[in-house]
Structure 1
């Protein structure tokens, strides 16, 4: 967070994210161009760290064919800084001082044929395609659990569990993301 504050300096365009007394803020900044580039950033760990994700389409990368399916492939700071052109100057300064960059692809996912096997069910980000930031997989798991709790509220016989889960599966197996284009996300 100190490195981010230093990079931002006194720039008046900076969103109010440093004041813990006012809560935690999520900032989404879109490039507003045909590249569908956007930055998502938010403080974490008691405002001691800043999580920043930069999404760009694969075609905008210098070597899109060399992308590997990984959650922690090494990204290029210079390429990321080049990709952030057109965003506010304070954000360009933040990116230019990033110590490390991870590169990973995010793809749409077609629904599985089923999310249930006997008395076992997939929930959360195991069942719903999510971007890997903002804790949305955990949030979806909590939402799934609430739905399952309501479904099982009046269960009297454990032999009914498989049929109740099949009912759940028939109404909950639509993924959250249906994007036919692969996007690479930079995370620093």
Structure 2
């Protein structure tokens, strides 16, 4: 009989864990509180460190309509003049994989196929058993979860992938380890525009002509980059995605016309091209950004936190989804040879060894904008795996630190050391 894992949450972290544990031969059960009734979310960037994990899981970037990023442009928001362009065409040689932009729903659907679909050459193992509309309200370290309907379910391992507002974080941390997030002083506007709508405006249509493969950051050079907007394509170029970061004292979500009006005010001094783009935004949401310091542990008994449940982070650096992907990929690799349920609790600390310091460094770096890495150098250094590890103090070093990480080499090394230590 294969060992059984219950995964709470079918977001990016949960589905990556489901795919990797399925491939490792485990029986996978997923409880997801939503019904997936409608598409939600915007787009995100997949950096080479996350792409390499997805490639190993059999992920199809073509099916997910991902757009490869060949250039990152930095543009002055007021003058719309190019300040810098970073060439990513050599990303495969430098980091082992390219970078992509992808709509969150397309990423999710492809992961869902790999987790729950039939074996078809790109995925093996028994399909995961997905239960929608099944809200988990509590769990215990012995591998038991309780659903809202009162039913209880047990497994050899419980993976808490239930996101930012995780209900399973407390059973892991306990009241003595509560660490509350604090408002960063910034917020993020998000909106999407169909590319066809762009093309109806002759000025914007001209901007799109040379946009293929280009991701853009529009910066306010007069406020030390405290205000900027990121723009890139997704869905094979069919959709344009925008994220606008700005100073804000508000700590609640705004949406609709109020959010759109506020966005126009915040970026009113930006170039006319930007205000034209704002005019096409039909639904704008504004999200407050909170900083969360690393938690002291992710484990208790047979219960483990992953993704945003383990390390909520800000969007600076674009690593939130990539850390979730790394988490999920690591679980399957580290638990592939476990056949005795008695070994689960002994193996879980190895997962934390591989993931916790790595994710904590990225989490702390995510609290500062590019070129501000030195502000958190001392905090990041607390999570160094060894004295000679690169502690980023610049954008270039942050990119190398984040992109060049090889998850599976780290897992292999940890397994070898673990095996040697037991002899």
Q: Name the TM-score, length of structure 2 as normaliser.
A: 0.34
Task: Identify, as 1 or 2, the structure richer in strand.
Answer: 2
Equivalences for residues 1-188 of structure 1 within 5 A: 1=194, 2-7=196-201, 9=203, 16-17=210-211, 24-34=213-223, 36-58=226-248, 64-65=249-250, 67-68=251-252, 70=253, 73-74=255-256, 75-131=258-314, 136-173=319-356, 174=360, 176-178=362-364, 179=367
In 2, Cα distance between equivalents of 1:51 and 1:6: 17
Report the alpha carbon displacement of residue 116 of structure 1 after superposing the two structures with TM. 1.9
Structure 1: state its 5+ residue gaps: 59-63, 182-188
Deviation at 1:5, TM superposition (A): 3.2
SS in structure 2 of the partner of residue 129 of structure 1: coil
Unaligned 5+ residue runs, structure 2?
1-193, 370-423
RMSD: 3.3
Q: What is the CA distance between 1:135 and its match in structure 2?
A: 8.3
- Shift, 1:30, TM fit: 1.9
Partner of 1:185: none
Q: Partners in 2 of 1:105 and 1:155 — Cα distance?
A: 42
Could you say if the C-alpha distance between residues 43 and 30 of structure 1 is closer, same or farther in structure 2, counting changes exceeding 3 Å?
same
Question: Greater CA deviation, 5-14 or 87-96?
Answer: 5-14
- Distance in 2 between the 1:164 and 1:113 partners? 18
Shift of 1:140: 2.3
1:106 aligned counterpart, secondary structure: strand
Instruction: Give the C-alpha shift of residue 153 in structure 1.
Output: 4.3
Aligned-partner Cα distance in 2 for 1:87–1:3 = 21
Contact 2:198–2:204, Cα closer than 8 Å, also in 1 = no
* Aligned counterparts of 2:295 and 2:209: Cα–Cα separation in 1: 40
How far did residue 52 of structure 1 move? 0.9
Q: Which residue of structure 2 lines up, in the alignment, with residue 61 of structure 1? A: none
1:111–1:134 Cα change, 3 Å = closer
Cα gap change, 1:39/1:180 in structure 2, threshold over 3 Å: closer, same or farther? closer
Aligned residues of 1:77 and 1:96 also touching (Cα < 8 A): no
TM-score, normalised relative to structure 1:
0.69
